[in-house]
Structure 1
Amino acid sequence: MSSTVFRTLVFSAALFTGSFSLPTLAHDADFSAKDLNEQLVMSTLWMQASAEYKAMSYQAFNLAKMQFDHYVSQHTGGKKIAVVVDADETIIDNSGYQAWLIGKDFGYSSKTWGEWMDAAEARAMPGALAFLTYVANNGGEVFYITNRKVSGLEGTRENLQDLGFPNVDDAHLMLRDSTSDKQPRREAIAKDYDIALLMGDNLNDFSNDFRTKSLAASDAAVEKNKALFGTQFIMLPNPAYGDWEGKVYDGNWGASAAEKDQMRKSKFHVWQPEK
């Protein structure tokens, strides 16, 4: 029996048992980071080549403008108004870094990501600059809460300023220091501002309701907060990476390339044609 057939049988059985665990086969040792990086091809190509990706980005920022205008028209508080955005894959596009990884026999690392940040070459997401400029010109201030480490501050500041984004200064550019938890930074803004909108590509950009440890818990949190999406929370498309991937691995980011490949594929809902 070939290994492919054997794996197909194991996979089919898993669909009925509700569990999935592939045995280690000889060729798993040959499955490399380069092989795993090949799985980035379609998501990265979609982000860089499809008009649909551009359309979804414009759609998000058009909706954000509508909601911002509505918020301003109804605002009666004494605080100033803020719009809070993530950076990566929310207002700037890092697909160039993802594309660079394809064909390499290593994955993401803080070293190469640091080099990418220092290069300051991320492009603006379609619609992002126009919307945030509109906010700054119409009674709002923009805060950037990003989990880029503070070591990338200078490159990030240069990148955003070169693209023309507003409010790119020490008061508004809030990178990660001691924790990846964004809630303390959101709360710091909320002391002096009413937050009209939060925008991000990752659920953790919105609320600590989404700081979950499993895919099922994340799904439940989305159901709980579904009325807020498109009103207070605006989600941007990012099919390439995110905190959700770690939940696929049950938090084991150190798993081998072969193990990650297996864990990814174990989450598929697979159609089985009738014999």
Structure 2
Amino acid sequence: MACVYSMRSSLFWMMLVSLTGLAITGCATSVSTTTDKPRLAQQSVLSTLWMDRAGEYRALCHQAFNMAKLQVDRRLSYHRTLEKPLAVIVDIDETVLSNVPYFSQLIDKGEVFPRGWKVWMQMSTAQAIPGALEFLKYARFRGVEVFYISNRSINEGLTATINNLVKMDFPFADQRHLLLKSKSGNKQPRRDRVEQTHEVILLIGDNLNDFSLIFSDKPVVQRNNAVDMMSSEFGKRFIILPNPIYGDWEGALYDYQWGTSSAQKLKVRQQLYNQ
């Protein structure tokens, strides 16, 4: 009997130590649960509503493209015909096309990007951002070419994106003027390609990486410092659109570890909020 009691006692303490270890591990790291993605998706409700319903969002978009128009007029006032042709470079998503319906679907389904992105993109039903179509048509009217530089996949998104832009009546919606991502998400080589043949007078986007490599993969503080250092460019050569739903600003919070779990993202967000 003593032997049996000893074995049972040993098993009890082994189980207790094991359970205690699990509890400590659970406190130290974020363990993903089935509710993490829905919770993460739910945090986008207010920003998605703002982009969908707020007059202030529309006003900011119109303001951005009105400023772009003024810069085109200013540059054309002293452009000489013997120089390179002028061009404007624009991003696509949340710059000229709105994906708010897609993000609304993610919230409804409790999912996060990139779930369902390919299907949404190939539907080619994204609507124009307020003011974008009017500005790009104006640029064409003034003899300025438009190039679309986007990190949509060239393999999965080229035809669908052209179809979407054509459907919305955007100018220069053809393969020559769409420079999508093939391998690298770094847009600088594609910008350089345009600048070999054109003088780029404006860059328009919703992400700092749409403007310069100086913002790429930088921590939050360095990104903010770079913005301050280049503050004179915004509203002149750089025109930025509001996008509180996603972007490299969020990636910077997680040190650009895009594969970070939903549980860990929730944890990091709360920690940063509490600081």
State the TM bucket, normalised to the shorter chain: 0.7 to 0.9
Aligned length in residues: 248
Over alpha carbons, which structure has the higher Rg?
A: 2
Q: Gaps spanning 5+ residues in structure 1: where? A: 1-21, 271-275
Match of 1:108 in 2: 113
Q: 1:158 to 1:241 in 2, by over 3 A?
A: same
Match of 1:229 in 2: 234
Partner letter of residue 168 of structure 1? Answer: A
Match of 1:4 in 2: none
- Within 1, Cα distance between the matches of 2:274 and 2:75? 40
Q: 1:132 is matched with which residue: 132, 136, 144?
A: 136
Larger mean Cα displacement after TM superposition, 251-260 or 235-244: 251-260
- Within 2, Cα distance between the matches of 1:168 and 1:28? 42
Q: 1:259 to 1:191 in 2, by over 3 A?
A: same
- Within 1, Cα distance between the matches of 2:236 and 2:43? 33
Match of 2:153 in 1: 149
- Within 2, Cα distance between the matches of 1:105 and 1:88? 22
Q: What are the Cα deviations for residues 185-207 of structure 1, in whole angstroms up to 9, with x where unaligned?
A: 11111111111100000000001
Asked if 1:164 corresponds to 2:169, the answer is: yes
Q: 1:128 to 1:26 in 2, by over 3 A?
A: closer
Match of 1:191 in 2: 196
Identity %: 43
Q: SS where residue 86 of structure 2 aligns? A: strand
- Within 2, Cα distance between the matches of 1:155 and 1:240? 23
Contact 2:41 2:107 survives alignment (8 Å): yes
Q: 1:67 is matched with which residue: 68, 71, 75?
A: 71
Match of 2:249 in 1: 244
TM-score by length of 2: 0.85
Q: Gaps spanning 5+ residues in structure 2: where? A: 1-25
Contact 1:118 1:152 survives alignment (8 Å): yes
Partner letter of residue 221 of structure 1? Answer: A
Match of 1:173 in 2: 178
1:124 CA displacement = 0.1
Match of 1:90 in 2: 95
Q: 1:168 to 1:246 in 2, by over 3 A?
A: same
Match of 2:42 in 1: 38
Asked if 1:118 corresponds to 2:107, the answer is: no
TM-score by length of 1: 0.85
